[in-house]
Amino acid sequence: MSLLPVLTAQAEAAAHRHTGAAACACGTPVTLADRPDATVVRHAGTVAKAHAPDTDPAGLGIRLAVATYLPDVLLAPLTPAPVPLRDRLVTFWPYGAPVDPDDPDAAPWEAAATLLARLHGTDPLAVGGGGPAGPAALPPMRGPAKAARAVRRLRTALHGVPRESAAHAAAVPVRRAWTGLPAWARAEVPMPGPAALCHGDLHLGQLVRHPAPDGPWRLIDVDDLGVGVPAWDLARPAAWYACGLLPPDEWTRFLTAYRRAGGPAVPPDGDPWAALDVPARALTVQTAALTITKALAADRPLDEVEQALVDACDRMTSVPRQLTPGLSD
């Protein structure tokens, strides 16, 4: 039996922990994600997530404790510890209403920025040392490690592909831009300090309203949470803006809200790009590498947005700091 039906049964049992599944009239469970790195099922108001097979149990336990400790920032889990299911660890969460992908004008950029500022302003020593994690140190934020994994996946996907192919041509500037990043952004050495508590994988899909449908926004998905460079959490919208994929007014809303909330990742005023440049470059490379890999798997050419990411990688290595807005013209 595959993982999905077993996880679905776990979600149903968790949803009816106190009433019994025999009385269930909740309707059909919903599969929210079914990928090698995560399978997520919703039953009524309960969500069960099977984490990646290589998830570290101790690290996940600490991350769950942080989410419980910061319920005004992170969606808190329903149970304090993961449970094993075959070769996976499963966590249980309350359902929250996600961002509507069909209504981009309603994107909660200000809420996302404010939540990040609160997260970054939390003392990691208080959370990891005297807080819910006890004496255990908080794990490092996994952003650079995920970027490195994306580049490795691209290299693997290119094995056996003719060198004269479009995929190889697209990969050249991506891999060149990767080698131009500092070692910490490639997960080869520890991240520089001062360390802040970071989400590690911020995008609009990581926000939900809880209680659904109109409760306050909360950040979800703690798999990459940890201590590190807080600018990494601003890097994806920064990279989208620099690549022309995020309208300037939306970037301004996000950055302004972050600064108003006292976020430490960038200076309170003036040019933010000295702090954002390296993380934004790294996220651009990561995203471009993933898009080429997916296009190869689907045997299709890159679309316009995907090509824009590859072009941005090419600009990074043609003139220093060309990802920075205003320097790529």
Give the pair of three-digit tokens for residue 158.
Answer: 């290119």
* pLDDT tens per residue, range 158-179: 999 999 999 999 999 999 999 9
Closest CA to 136 of 198, 82, 59: 59
Q: Is residue 39 over pLDDT 70?
A: yes
| pTM: predicted TM-score of the whole model, two decimal places | 0.92
Residue 316 vs residue 26, higher pLDDT: 316
Query: What pLDDT is attached to residue 27?
Result: 79
Query: What pLDDT is attached to residue 181?
Result: 97
Query: What pLDDT is attached to residue 326?
Result: 43
Cα dihedral: 322, 175, 179, 196 (round 10): 80
Best CATH choice for the domain 104-318 from the list 3.90.1150.10, 3.20.20.70, 3.90.1200.10, 3.40.50.970 = 3.90.1200.10
Residue 63 one-letter amino acid:
R
CATH 3.30.200 fits 3-94, yes or no: yes
Q: Is residue 324 over pLDDT 70?
A: no
Domain ranges, ordered by start, for the chain: 3-94, 104-318
* pLDDT tens per residue, range 256-282: 999 999 999 999 999 999 999 999 999
Q: Is residue 51 over pLDDT 80?
A: yes
Q: Is residue 108 over pLDDT 60?
A: yes
Residue 37 one-letter amino acid:
D
